[in-house]
């Protein structure tokens, strides 16, 4: 067995050597490879896994050379005189299949006058060429029967590009290269009618040396791009499948003798105090020796230095060496920088690496600068350490997505993402599932974000079994090429702390060899690969969507590898429940070091419907019927496509916050002094009075009664201290419930100004005194009707002569109308103003969320929807109590669930109505969980101003309310609307003591919980928002009503978030089918 395995590995390596290296530099003059043997049919390059690079430059770090160091320092690379952007308008032709493409368009004399123009970079499909397709894990070009490496010839659009350009005269003696940042999925390149090369891998650069193809004056570029290629079998990621030239295209020049690449290993010593530089620089001589004569030996100097922000040179070394034509040389520099400022996401300290190439007499030849950071990443004792400290990855997965430009991402968009992340305590990003634009890494270096850099490999559509391309040696070179190009491009970025070999591509010999190559090339970073699970070829156990119990089980085994969730908390639509529960567990065990939420941004495209309304399009919104689609499964973000935060982001900010506040001691004997324990959850930043400030507010029954600032104490990372706060005497003497709201603010800008001074970094609400009345908001099975009512005479009961089913109860200034047949209150008039559009009735249903669809809730719990829609009135009784109240009691039978539901309306002489509910299922053991327990009523138009005392200000649910604090909040009908991409439940508030809905003039209704309740107040009913299938309705498809519907609920089940394809809310956030009773009151606001 072992011999067989060794033989297989040896054969694989032979294949790699024989196939991979020659392919990189191979130059072919036709579209096809030669036949393997006489009589064998030729194979298209774009259907051959052995061909993925022809005449393509070897990968290297990202840089642009300058003529001399003084010009390079402090200048953007694009300011170099040796740089020229080719972005802009190009001539463009598109055809739906290769057979229709113009065969000779690359010829300089070809007439392109009838061609259209397209912006470069741009995705074709968002510019009217082809269909944007969203699928999750299938191959959109072969969803039912993928046959790698074959591509359908009748469905493979081809885009042909032409651009005329000139070369600066100063470049005449230089080497000239063309750089394509990203092209999907494969392309050929011609210059001046001569074929230059071919490339695959749509997310790493393709560079070609075009010096020998150039001519004085005007030159012609011709590019032929294929939407699909065999490389597409390695690009089966969960995102929009769109194509074209997606990143920058530019030319750059370099001297004949030039720096080809460099690798700056910038680590810390064993004490994590001093910086250790280990620098490799590769210099090549591109000159050619005269025929038949030895090349002339030339002398060069290469000076390497490290400079701090003050311009001080902390390291300087000059090496003199010789080169002959065609030779390359690798120079190594080692040095130590004392008391270096380490790089981390919290303190992203950077230095400038300078490389100066000069001639024999020190004349400048070339200069390159690059920001570097000193930091060490290692795994010790089962933990991942950064600079010697175990860190938590408070992360998100981020696709490159723009709602208007697709996969073409501007720097402004990148900075906005980082700003939102930093302001919401996100410190890490997984570049799912491909290397991102190079500028992203520079920004993460600068602002401070930990990155898992992921290779552009996902063959999800082939599964993980024997058909997995990970197990096929023919695909080994393509796997390794993609990983090599990622590592070589990004190896100098301090923000890259982990390499990821790809996503959902199975595991096998190809990834085993890739793991070995990375370890040999860069042993300074751990390697991550989810599909390796607990096999040897991953340094981190990185499961996706593992449940809390699985995390605990793993952590208790004292593992040698840390567990970092590569994906968790699937945030599709109204989701991200029980996030606090995850982190309570994560912070309990050293082996658990966080995770990456799926995901950052809803991948919706901006589109207008027939009414001209803008909406976010998802799978199925483009193309004819039958176009492959996975509906709105691309919309899983914490922010909308335009980066407007969803309410879940506030929960993430709270759970991820770097501080913890606890009540260390109860209120003291004098009733005014308390001690607050503050824990610093930063890994490197210390709390201190110079950089941070504590602000607190005291609330009594939701109203602020005191506010003050306290000096922030000195607290080292992961240490605690206590802060004494003296509260006003109101706490001691006053009745009601008291909350202390605490905030940690930064006094100075953080993240290079993205987090301005005065920003709330962390917060907490602590209850310091119980209310005199229990307002817990917890589920109750025993709450009774409140009998205490002011005795006022005057209530009258009057039958409607025109409708025997109706009667009224009236008092001073108000009239209530009941309908016996419907079993409900149908009208509430106060001073002739009608409050109700539709009277209250029992409600057990909520509009399904995306997670609900995933766990089949609409099918499993449809009986509760039926119970909300169809009720049988079994009895209706009216009585008058001695207290003066009139009680209307209706008994419903709910046939779909076999339950009785009694609603009692106790009308007091002052117009207050106490509504008591008693729910009794006859056979609860046979019933599923209940979506909600409450009542729905429609309010009259004009009642749009909302004020409530409960958890807010943002939407919250029983499993997503850590960030929502109890207080009094004011809002209105429009502000309550949360436009999730697809129609679903939204707008809930929990632990509500009272709610007022009124007109701008102040007239309205007040609801008071007996005990606390949950509510929504939105211009939609649950039925309006209910879809029959996931993604059936966009939010904009649901007509907005002109008035509010209010739900008053004892409880609503949680939104969940473990995943969106089966997981239910955790048991403690479900509503068990059993008997319940609860009450609330409504009264006119006078």
Q: Pick out the chain residues at pLDDT < 50.
A: 1-12, 14-40, 773-792
List where CATH 2.60.120.260 sits in the chain: 31-60+88-247
At 22 the pLDDT is 40
Q: Contact 902/888 with Cβ under 8 angstroms?
A: no
Q: Contact 224/188 with Cβ under 8 angstroms?
A: yes
Per-residue tokens: 175: 């080497």
Assign domain 660-769 one CATH number from 2.60.40.10, 1.20.1050.10, 3.90.180.10, 3.40.630.20. Answer: 2.60.40.10
pLDDT in tens, 933-992: 999 999 999 999 999 999 999 999 999 999 999 999 999 999 999 999 999 999 999 999
User: Which are the contacts of 895, defined by CB distance < 8 A and separation ≥ 6?
Assistant: 870, 872
Is 729 among the catalytic positions? no
**Any idea which residue has 């790698």 for tokens?**
148
Per-residue tokens: 820: 């016996």
User: Among 1075, 981, 196, which residue's Cα sits nearest to residue 639?
Assistant: 981
At 729 the pLDDT is 87
At 771 the pLDDT is 59
User: Among 328, 330, 331, 332, which residue's Cα sits nearest to residue 285?
Assistant: 328
Is 838 among the catalytic positions? no
Q: What distances in angstroms separate CA 550 from CA 384, 553, 563, one per listed residue?
A: 20, 5, 11
How far apart (Å, rounded) are the C-alpha atoms in residues 809 and 83?
84
Sheet containing 328-337, strands listed edge to edge, beginning at the edge strand earlier in sequence: 257-268, 275-285, 328-337
Per-residue tokens: 1073: 């089918």
φ, ψ dihedrals at 704, nearest 5°: -70, 125
Which residues sit opposite 501 in a β-bridge?
Answer: none
User: Which are the contacts of 10, defined by CB distance < 8 A and separation ≥ 6?
Assistant: none
Q: What distances in angstroms separate CA 985 from CA 7, 182, 275, 679, one per listed residue?
A: 58, 39, 53, 36
- What DSSP string runs through 25-67? H---SSSBPPPSSTTPPP-BGGG-TT-SEESPPPP------BS
How far apart (Å, rounded) are the C-alpha atoms in residues 509 and 643?
40
User: Among 416, 348, 418, 424, which residue's Cα sits nearest to residue 760?
Assistant: 424
Sign of CA dihedral 764, 765, 769, 770: negative
At 23 the pLDDT is 40
How far apart (Å, rounded) are the C-alpha atoms in residues 983 and 1035?
4
Q: What angle do CA 32, 35, 40 make, to 5 degrees?
A: 125
Asked if the bond preceding 1011 is cis, omega within 30° of 0, the reply is: yes
The CATH number that domain 796-1085 falls under is: 2.70.98.10
How far apart (Å, rounded) are the C-alpha atoms in residues 233 and 141?
10
- What DSSP string runs through 196-234? EEEEE-TTS-EEEE-GGG--SSEEEEEEEEES--GGGGG
Q: Contact 892/870 with Cβ under 8 angstroms?
A: no
Taking only Cα atoms into account, the Rg of the chain, rounded to an integer number of angstroms, comes to 34
List where CATH 2.60.40.10 sits in the chain: 257-372, 660-769
Per-residue tokens: 784: 């009774």
List where CATH 3.20.20.80 sits in the chain: 1-23+427-535, 393-425+541-656
User: Among 960, 913, 909, which residue's Cα sits nearest to residue 937?
Assistant: 913
Count Cβ atoms below 10 Å from residue 774 Cβ, excluding itself. Answer: 13
Angle between helices 548-555 and 579-586 (to 10 degrees): 0
Determine the 3-state secondary structure of 592 from DSSP: strand
Q: Decide yes or no: CATH 3.40.309.10 for domain 31-60+88-247.
A: no
- What DSSP string runs through 326-365? T-EEEEEEEEEETT---B-SSSB--EEEEEEEE-TT--EE
User: Which are the contacts of 536, defined by CB distance < 8 A and separation ≥ 6?
Assistant: none
| 1032 burial type by CB count under 10 A (0-12 exposed, 13-18 middle, 19+ buried) | middle
Per-residue tokens: 332: 């190594």
Helix (H) or strand (E) holding 413: helix 411-423
Pairing assessment for the beta strands 428-430 and 393-397 based on DSSP bridges: parallel
CATH topology of domain 393-425+541-656: TIM Barrel (3.20.20)
Q: Contact 791/909 with Cβ under 8 angstroms?
A: yes
Assign domain 1-23+427-535 one CATH number from 2.60.40.420, 3.40.50.720, 2.160.10.10, 3.20.20.80. Answer: 3.20.20.80
How far apart (Å, rounded) are the C-alpha atoms in residues 113 and 120?
18
Count Cβ atoms below 10 Å from residue 884 Cβ, excluding itself. Answer: 18
Q: What angle do CA 636, 641, 644 make, to 5 degrees?
A: 100
Per-residue tokens: 164: 């005329």
How far apart (Å, rounded) are the C-alpha atoms in residues 632 and 609?
17
How far apart (Å, rounded) are the C-alpha atoms in residues 532 and 501?
10
pLDDT in tens, 106-131: 999 999 999 999 999 999 999 999 99
φ, ψ dihedrals at 626, nearest 5°: 95, -10
pLDDT in tens, 210-229: 999 999 999 999 999 999 99
Q: What share of the chain is helix, strand, coil (3-state, %, to 5)?
A: 15, 40, 45
Residue from 47, 57, 207, 504 carrying the catalytic annotation? 504
At 1011 the pLDDT is 87
User: Among 423, 268, 380, which residue's Cα sits nearest to residue 751?
Assistant: 423
Residue from 57, 567, 651, 955 carrying the catalytic annotation? 567
Q: Contact 835/1084 with Cβ under 8 angstroms?
A: yes
The CATH number that domain 257-372 falls under is: 2.60.40.10
Buried-exposed string 601-632: b where 16+ CB fall within 10 A, e elsewhere: bbbbbebeeeeeeebbbbbbbbeeeebbbbbb
How far apart (Å, rounded) are the C-alpha atoms in residues 177 and 190?
13
- What DSSP string runs through 1017-1035? EESS-HHHH--SSTTSSBG
User: Which are the contacts of 850, defined by CB distance < 8 A and separation ≥ 6?
Assistant: 572, 573, 574, 575, 632, 635, 982, 984, 1030, 1060
Q: Contact 599/399 with Cβ under 8 angstroms?
A: yes
pTM recorded for the entire structure: 0.94
Sign of CA dihedral 409, 410, 413, 418: positive
């Amino acid at each position: 067995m072992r011999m067989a395995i060794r033989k297989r590995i040896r054969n694989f390596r032979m294949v790699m050597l024989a196939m991979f290296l020659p392919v990189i530099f191979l130059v072919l003059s036709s579209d096809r490879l030669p036949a393997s043997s006489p009589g064998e049919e030729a194979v298209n390059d774009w259907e051959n896994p052995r061909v993925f690079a022809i005449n393509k430059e070897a990968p290297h770090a990202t840089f642009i050379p300058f003529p001399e160091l003084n010009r390079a320092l402090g200048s953007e690379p694009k300011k170099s005189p040796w740089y020229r952007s080719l972005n802009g308008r190009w001539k463009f032709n598109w055809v739906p299949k290769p057979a229709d493409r113009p065969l000779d368009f690359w010829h300089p004399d070809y007439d392109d006058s009838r061609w259209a123009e397209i912006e470069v970079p741009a995705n074709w499909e968002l510019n009217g060429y082809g269909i944007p397709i969203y699928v999750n894990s299938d191959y959109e070009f072969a969803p039912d029967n993928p046959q790698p490496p074959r591509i359908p010839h009748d469905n493979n659009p081809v885009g042909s590009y032409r651009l005329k350009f000139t070369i600066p005269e100063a470049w005449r003696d230089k080497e000239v290269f063309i750089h394509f940042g990203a092209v999907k999925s494969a392309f050929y390149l011609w210059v001046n009618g001569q074929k230059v090369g071919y490339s695959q891998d749509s997310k790493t650069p393709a560079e070609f040396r075009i010096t020998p193809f150039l001519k004085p004056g005007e030159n012609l570029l011709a590019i032929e791009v294929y939407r699909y290629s065999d490389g597409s079998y390695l690009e089966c990621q969960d995102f929009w499948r769109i194509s074209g030239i997606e990143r920058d295209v530019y030319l750059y020049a370099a001297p004949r003798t030039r720096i080809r690449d460099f690798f700056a290993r910038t680590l810390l010593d064993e004490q994590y105090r001093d910086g250790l530089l280990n620098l490799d620089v590769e210099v090549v001589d591109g000159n050619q020796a005269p025929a038949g004569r030895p090349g002339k030996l030339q002398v060069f100097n290469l000076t390497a230095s490290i400079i701090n922000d003050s311009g001080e040179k902390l390291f300087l070394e000059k090496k003199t060496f010789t080169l002959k034509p065609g030779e390359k040389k690798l120079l190594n520099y080692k040095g130590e920088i004392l008391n270096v400022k380490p790089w981390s996401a919290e303190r992203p300290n950077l230095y400038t690496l300078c490389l100066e190439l000069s001639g024999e007499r020190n004349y400048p030849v070339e200069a390159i600068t690059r920001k570097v950071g000193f930091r060490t990443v290692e795994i010790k004792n089962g933990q991942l350490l950064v600079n010697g400290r175990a860190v938590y990855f408070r992360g998100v997965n981020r696709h490159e997505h723009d709602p208007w430009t697709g996969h073409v991402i501007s720097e402004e968009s990148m900075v906005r993402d980082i700003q939102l992340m930093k302001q919401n305590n996100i410190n890490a990003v997984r570049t799912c599932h491909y290397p991102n634009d190079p500028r992203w890494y520079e920004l993460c270096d600068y602002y401070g974000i930990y990155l898992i850099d992921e290779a552009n490999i996902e063959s999800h559509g082939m599964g993980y079994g024997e058909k997995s391309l990970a197990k096929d040696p023919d695909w080994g070179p393509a796997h390794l090429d993609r990983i090599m190009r990622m590592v070589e491009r990004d190896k100098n970025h301090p923000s890259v702390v982990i390499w990821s070999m790809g996503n959902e591509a199975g595991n096998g010999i190809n990834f085993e060899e890739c793991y070995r190559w990375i370890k040999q090339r860069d042993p300074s970073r751990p390697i991550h690969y989810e599909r390796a699970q607990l096999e040897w070829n991953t340094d981190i156990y990185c499961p996706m969507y593992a449940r809390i119990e699985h995390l605990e089980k793993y952590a208790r085994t004292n593992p040698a590898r840390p567990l970092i969730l590569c994906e968790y908390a699937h945030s599709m639509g109204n989701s991200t429940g029980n996030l606090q529960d995850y982190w309570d567990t994560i912070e309990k065990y050293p082996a658990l070091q966080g995770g990456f939420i799926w995901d950052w941004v809803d991948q919706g495209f901006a589109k207008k419907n027939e009414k001209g309304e803008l909406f976010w399009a998802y799978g199925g919104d483009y193309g004819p019927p039958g176009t492959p689609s996975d509906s709105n499964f691309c919309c899983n973000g914490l922010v909308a496509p335009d980066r407007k935060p969803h309410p879940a982001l506030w929960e993430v900010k709270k759970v991820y916050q770097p501080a913890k506040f606890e009540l260390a001691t109860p209120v003291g004997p004098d009733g005014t002094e308390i001690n607050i324990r503050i824990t610093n959850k930063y890994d490197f930043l210390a709390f201190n009075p110079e950089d941070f400030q504590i602000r607190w507010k005291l609330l009594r029954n939701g109203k602020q009664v005191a506010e003050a600032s306290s000096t922030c104490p000195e607290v080292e990372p992961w240490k605690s201290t206590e802060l004494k706060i003296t509260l006003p005497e109101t706490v001691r003497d006053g009745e009601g419930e008291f909350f202390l709201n605490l905030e940690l603010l930064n006094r100075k800008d953080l993240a290079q100004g993205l987090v301005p001074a005065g920003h709330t970094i962390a917060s907490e609400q602590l209850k310091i005194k119980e209310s005199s009345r229990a307002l817990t908001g917890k589920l109750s099975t025993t709450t009774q009707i409140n009998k205490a009512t002011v005795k006022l005479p005057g209530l009258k009961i009057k039958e409607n002569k025109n409708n025997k089913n109706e009667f009224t109860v009236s008092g001073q200034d108000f009239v209530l109308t009941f309908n016996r047949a419907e079993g409900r209150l149908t009208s509430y008039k106060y001073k002739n103003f009608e409050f109700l559009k539709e009277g209250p009735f029992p409600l057990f249903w909520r509009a399904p969320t995306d997670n609900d669809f995933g766990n089949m809730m609409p099918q499993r719990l449809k009986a509760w929807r039926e119970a909300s829609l169809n009720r049988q009135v079994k009895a209706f009784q009216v009585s008058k109590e001695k207290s003066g109240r009139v009680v209307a009691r209706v008994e419903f039978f709910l046939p779909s669930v076999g339950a009785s539901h009694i609603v009692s309306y106790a009308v007091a002489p002052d117009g207050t109505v106490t509504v008591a509910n008693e729910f009794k299922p006859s056979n609860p053991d046979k019933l599923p969980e209940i979506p909600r327990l409450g009542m729905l009523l429609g309010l009259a138009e004009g009642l749009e101003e909302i004020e409530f005392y409960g958890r807010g200000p943002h939407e919250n649910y029983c499993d997503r309310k850590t960030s929502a604090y109890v207080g009094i909040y004011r809002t209105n009908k429009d502000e309550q609307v949360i436009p999730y991409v697809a129609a679903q439940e939204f707008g809930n508030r929990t632990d509500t003591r009272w709610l007022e809905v009124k007109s701008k003039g102040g007239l309205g209704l007040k609801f008071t919980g007996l005990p606390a309740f949950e509510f929504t107040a939105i211009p939609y009913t649950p039925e309006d928002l209910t879809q029959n299938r996931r993604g059936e309705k966009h939010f904009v498809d649901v007509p907005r009503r002109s008035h509010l519907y209010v739900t008053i609920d004892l409880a609503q089940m949680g939104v969940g978030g473990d995943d969106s394809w089966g997981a239910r809310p955790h048991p403690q956030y479900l509503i068990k089918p059993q008997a319940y009773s609860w009450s609330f009151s409504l009264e006119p606001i006078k």
